[in-house]
Amino acid sequence: MKRILIMLGLLAGCAVVPKVPEMPVEKPVPPQETVAPQARPAAVPARAAPPRVALVLGGGAVRGFAHIGVIKVLEAQGIMPDLIVGTSAGSVVGALYAAGYGGFELQRIAFKLEEDSVGDWILPDRGFIKGEALQNYINKAVRGVQIEKLKKPFAAVATDLQSGEIMVFRRGNTGQAVRASSSVPGVFQPVNINGRDYVDGGLTSPLPIRVARNLGADVVIAVDISARPSAARIGGVTDVLMQAIAIMEQSLRNDELPEADVLIRPNTTGFGSADFTKKHEAILEGETAAQAALPLIREKIRQAAERKQAAYVPR
């Protein structure tokens, strides 16, 4: 009996012996692919803003159609001015261009334009032409948009008749500013704006290069369509007046010419100031002169871009 009890005790003792815990088996970790860190994109060097290009359109009556030929060539080459400044006939073409009319649209307008569209003849008082027809024509063409809201920055240059000082219109009634800029003394009546009388901008700046510079232009492309003083015999009062104006404008123009980067001079020799039959020829002369100037235009823009980049300080 005693032996049986001892055997049962041994069996019971074996029953309560704790099991040795099994060692955890680590699961094999699959080899991870080594991912190379992505190379950071190369830092893009800070760039200065592109040079600001101004197109300056001078006065010259009907010879102003040559401006359209210049615009056509610039557009075809992707040279789009950032600023347009015009005097007299240049302000007429410039306002329409700033309003969004392209070169070919301007050409279509020119071919349809007749003298009666812009000339409202009156009995002589302060001028033979009142000028309201021109003002209304421009305002209709630009759909009544004010200068400061045109698609491109635009400035029309006129002369203050009381002070003799230059006046640069950058705000206000577009047609009225163009009319003031184009009011040749003795031909058009002066334009009264806010109590001041204004006449043709050619009396103070026939080719307003300096105005463009003052408005921040880095590159100035100037188009000179002016008539040179005539060597022919001077006839009546009108001839004397036109010759006097041509002499005065030549002196003023020569003073500003050195400030232009590119000077385009369409050959308008023999084109009368009021000869509307020469529209097509004037446009072609503008195209020819602009084509010849293209290499210089590109070079001046490139040089201006390099100067701006060299002086650029990133913010």
Q: Nearest 10 degrees: CA dihedral of 261, 267, 271, 275?
A: -70
Selecting from 3.30.499.10, 3.90.1170.50, 3.40.50.12590, 3.40.1090.10, what CATH number does the domain 53-307 have? 3.40.1090.10
Hey, CA dihedral for 225, 89, 104, 110, is it positive or negative? negative
Domain ranges in the chain are 53-307
End-to-end CA distance of the chain: 104
pLDDT tens per residue across all 315 residues of the chain: 444 333 334 333 333 333 434 434 445 545 455 555 565 555 555 788 999 999 999 998 889 999 999 999 999 999 999 999 999 999 999 999 999 999 999 999 999 887 555 554 444 444 467 889 899 999 999 999 999 999 999 999 999 999 999 999 999 999 999 999 999 887 889 999 999 999 999 999 999 999 999 999 999 999 999 876 666 666 666 667 767 777 877 888 888 999 999 999 999 888 877 777 889 999 999 999 999 999 999 999 999 999 999 988 887
- Catalytic site residue from 88, 181, 183, 226: 88
How many CA atoms lie less than 13 Å away from 217 in the CB half-sphere? 29
Concerning whether 205 is annotated as a catalytic residue, the answer is no
Residue type present at position 59: G
Residue type present at position 292: A
Concerning whether 88 is annotated as a catalytic residue, the answer is yes
Per DSSP, the three-state class of 294 is: helix
Strand segments (E) across 79-232: 83-87, 127-129, 154-160, 166-169, 186-188, 191-193, 196-200, 219-223
How far lies 20's CA from each of 10, 16, 23, 27, in Å?
A: 19, 12, 9, 21
- Catalytic site residue from 160, 182, 183, 200: 200
- Nearest residue to 224 (alpha-carbon basis) of 87, 19, 125, 97: 87
pTM, entire model: 0.81
Provide the pLDDT for residue 25. 44
- φ and ψ at residue 199, rounded to 5 degrees: -130, -175
H/E stretch holding 181 reads helix 174-181
| Count of C-beta atoms within a 10 Å radius of residue 188 | 22
Provide the pLDDT for residue 153. 98
Provide the pLDDT for residue 75. 98
